[in-house]
Amino acid sequence: MPEPTSQPQGAPRTLAEVTTLPELLRWRIGATPAVEAYRHFDTAARRWVGQSWQQIDAEFERWRQALAAEDFAPGERVAILMPNGIAHVAMDQAVLSRGLVPVPMHAVDNPDSIAYILADSGALLLFVDTLERWQAIAATGQPLDTLKRIVCADAAGPAPTDARIVELARWLAAPSRAAAPLPDVAVRPDDLAAIVYTSGTTGRPKGVMLSQDNIVANVKAVDRRLAAIPSDVFLSFLPLSHSFERTGGYYYPIAAGACVAYARSVPQLSEDLKHVRPTVLNSVPRIYERIYALIMQHRASAGSIERALLDLTLAVGGRRFDARQGRGSLSVLDRLAWPLLKRLVADKVLVQFGGRLRIAVSGGAPIAESVIRLFLALGLDILQGYGMTETSPVVSVNTAEDNDPRSVGRVLDGIEVKLGEKDELLVRGPSVMLGYWRKPEETRRVKDADGWLHTGDQARIESGRITITGRIKDILVTSTGEKIAPVDLETAILADPLFEQALVIGEQRPFLAALVVLNAKAWEQERRRLAASGTPGEAAERAVLLGRIAAAVKAYPSYATPRAVWWTLEPWTIAAGLLTPTLKNKRPALEHRLAAEIEQIYAKRPSAPRIA
């Protein structure tokens, strides 16, 4: 098959001239055809394999032709239910090239939610990882008559009776090959580029309609802010169904000409970091929190000299970071000590990320300041940002040269922000969504006639820098009239390595309570310590947990300290309907599932917690 090696006539010559995602890919292939584009782990060969932009375009061409043979009309929807990897990207690019609309879905979502999205979007084709997954979706009973084709990457098992089902290898091999690559179907900047469904923390997910211009404008704005370079290597592990990874870890690297390596799985992430040695990483706070927890656990069991060395490294490194940001100065002793501390402590921690990470972006949820400051002190520039699916998604982000870990950075070029009623953050600009799919009233509720998107987040804006202070709808009001943002408290609690998950409750109750999932290993160590001290038992355990929670939230007013706690070692999961696919708490579902435990909490009179 011929491999395209040059730009078609009239193709963009610079990133500034790109107006659609198909143009973006064509521009990149023409600009750097021989540069490595993607890297994946070949399980058969047991090694990492790279592909250039020219090679990956030849691979994509097989998918374009297979999809063209389906003869779908432009604007029709194609659902992608696949883990991260070349296959996911190849289908996405094929869909875009045919003027169709990708509907990316979370690979870890439950069958009922997937069936709902398929029906709501009216998808004509579903690309799914396994036949077993499709059978679970079909078993929900949701009518899915609009589906004309189901392509299974792995169709192992009894031969399917549904004529719509085809194995991927056969689907790709079926069309007769054209003598030359298929030309892309013409699309306009205002055409749909994706329908991305929100996580649905309080109800059914909504389909966010993002145009070609929405995403391309956001990619260009991110490129002006972060400036990744062709020699960069991204390690992708966040789901491509999430707009954070979709823009920041997929379309943006195309614009930058950087390589994307696809991690094998989250359990293998630690090993993949060391093998791939990425220079750029997009992550949610939970990854940083887990490494932070390991560091704190190691510190607790370390000898006095090792503990003192870590503490000194964090102190000197913290002053070094503040000095670099113009918020302090370094003494001569600090300058002399840092090279040794870096070699003895900081480098040994950062090698867990591969040892050459220069940009680490944290988004998708708040991150505790104590967590982010630890890594900043070790010399890793974690850049906190803010965005929403509805904004394609990035609104603001810090940079290495201008990094305030208490904030989510300055607004990207071309985006306007202001505060509305109750200090609600309003956003306007070319990356703000067209609206919600088939939900005009929902659209009008969040996007006003002047184009301002009402985010639902409360904020402060100082010199273009945004600090998120709470969530308007996620405010608990106790029976005593106090108002508390539970997510802030939950984030603070999770900075303690003892806690894996947390839910703070107290709406119209006399005090706050915390429902927590504990780290089994850390909790066993704590229980052994209690037994050794002669104070075992539930009352002593409760006192320890309340003390740890009180210490974690000590920066908040006293009325914001949970006065009661319920705990378990059993994690809350997506499959149980208790978490969204992006691992956010489904508060109503959790409160319903734990209704009996909550009532028991409030039937008792709590004692004041002791700060450990």
pLDDT tens-digit readout, 36-91: 999 999 999 999 999 999 999 999 999 999 999 999 999 999 999 999 999 999 99
Q: Which residues contact 21 (CB under 8 A, 6 or more apart)?
A: 96, 193, 212, 215, 216, 251
Q: How far is CA 475 from the centre of its chain?
A: 23
Residue 324 within any structural domain of the chain: yes
Q: What pLDDT score does 234 carry?
A: 98
In angstroms, the CA 404 to CA 402 distance is 7
- Residues of the chain with pLDDT > 70, as a percent, come to 96
- Render 283-298 in DSSP notation, one character per residue: E-HHHHHHHHHHHHHH
Answer yes or no: is pLDDT of 424 > 90. yes
Is residue 438 one of the residues assigned to a domain?
Answer: no
Q: Quote the crossing angle between the two packed helices 332-341 and 304-324, to the nearest 10°.
A: 120
Would you say residue 65 lies in a domain? Answer: yes
Boundary-marking domain end, from 280, 309, 324: 280
Query: With 70 as the cut, is the pLDDT of residue 499 above it?
Result: yes
In contact, 465 and 499? CB cutoff 8 Å: no
Instruction: Please give the pLDDT value at position 3.
Output: 41
Q: Are residues 347 and 488 in the same domain?
A: no
pLDDT of residue 297: 87
The percentage of residues in the chain with a pLDDT greater than 90, rounded to a whole number, is 77
DSSP-based three-state secondary structure for 279: coil
- Domain-embedded: residue 206: no
Q: What is the CATH number of the domain that holds 67?
A: 3.40.50.980
Indicate whether 240 and 346 sit together in one domain: no
Q: Identify the residue with better confidence: 157 or 374.
A: 374
Is residue 612's pLDDT more than 60?
no
Residues 6+ apart with CB under 8 A from 199: 205, 580, 581, 582, 584
**168 and 258 both lie in a single domain:** yes
Residue 343 has pLDDT above 60, yes or no: yes
Q: Are residues 275 and 307 in the same domain?
A: no
Residue 414 lies in a domain: no
Both tokens of 42, joined, read 């070949």
Q: What is the dihedral of CA 426, 432, 435, 437, to 10 degrees?
A: -130
Q: What are phi and psi of 579, to 5 degrees?
A: -130, 150
pLDDT, averaged across the chain: 92
Domain-ending residue, one of 380, 398, 419: 380
Residue 444, pLDDT score: 96
131's CB contacts (< 8 A; 6+ apart) are 152, 154, 155, 156, 157, 160, 165
Question: What confidence category does residue 200 fall into, taking pLDDT thresholds of 50, 70 and 90?
Answer: low
Encoded tokens for 269: 């992430």
Rounded CA gap, 104 and 128, in Å?
Answer: 11
Question: Contact 158/182 with Cβ under 8 angstroms?
Answer: no
Identify the weakest region by mean pLDDT among 231-240, 370-379, 597-606. 597-606
CB atoms within 10 A of CB 150: 23
Residues 250, 103: Cα–Cα separation, whole Å: 15
Residues 124, 56, single domain; the answer is yes
- pLDDT bin (cut points 50, 70, 90) of residue 203 is low
Name the domain boundary from 380, 408, 432: 380
Q: Map tokens 């998107």 to a residue.
A: 453
- Could you check whether the bond before residue 581 is cis, i.e. omega within 30 degrees of 0? no
Same domain, 509 and 563: yes
Question: pLDDT at residue 610 above 60?
Answer: no
**Weakest-pLDDT range from 28-37, 310-319, 401-410, 527-536:** 527-536
Task: Give me the phi and psi of 419, to 5 degrees please.
Answer: -105, 135
Query: Which residue type, as a one-letter code, is found at position 421?
Result: E
CATH number at residue 583: 3.30.300.30
Same domain, 235 and 288: no
Distance (Å, rounded) from C-alpha 91 to C-alpha 82? 10
Domain assignment of residue 359, given as a range: 284-380
Higher-confidence residue: 515 or 13?
515
Residue 598 inside a domain? The answer is: yes
The pair of three-digit structure tokens given for residue 328, joined into one six-digit string: 């302090």
Could you tell me if 555 and 583 lie in one domain?
Answer: yes
How far is residue 142 CA from its own chain's centroid? 29
Same domain, 62 and 96: yes
Determine the average pLDDT of the residues in 297-324.
95
Q: Is residue 196 part of a domain?
A: no
Ranges 3-12, 128-137, 474-483: which has the least confidence: 3-12
- 26 and 49: one domain? yes
CA neighbours closer than 13 Å in the CB half-sphere of residue 207: 27
Candidate from 378-387, 395-404, 523-532 with smallest mean pLDDT: 523-532
What is the H or E stretch that residue 586 is in?
none
**pLDDT tens digits, residue range 442-494?**
999 999 999 999 999 999 999 889 999 888 877 788 877 777 889 889 989 99
pLDDT value of residue 581: 79
| Phi/psi of residue 461, nearest 5 degrees | -125, 120
* Domains of the chain: total: 3
Q: Is the pLDDT of residue 609 over 90?
A: no
Q: Is residue 611 part of a domain?
A: no
Both 312 and 276 in one domain: the answer is no
What integer is the mean pLDDT of 226-254?
Answer: 95
pLDDT at 606: 60
Query: Taking Cα atoms as reference points, which of 285, 251, 341 lies closest to residue 490?
Result: 285
* pLDDT value of residue 201: 57
Helix (H) or strand (E) holding 590: helix 587-593
Report the relative pairing of strands 435-436 and 207-211 from DSSP bridges. antiparallel
Q: Do residues 169 and 33 share a domain?
A: yes
Q: pLDDT at residue 332 above 90? A: yes
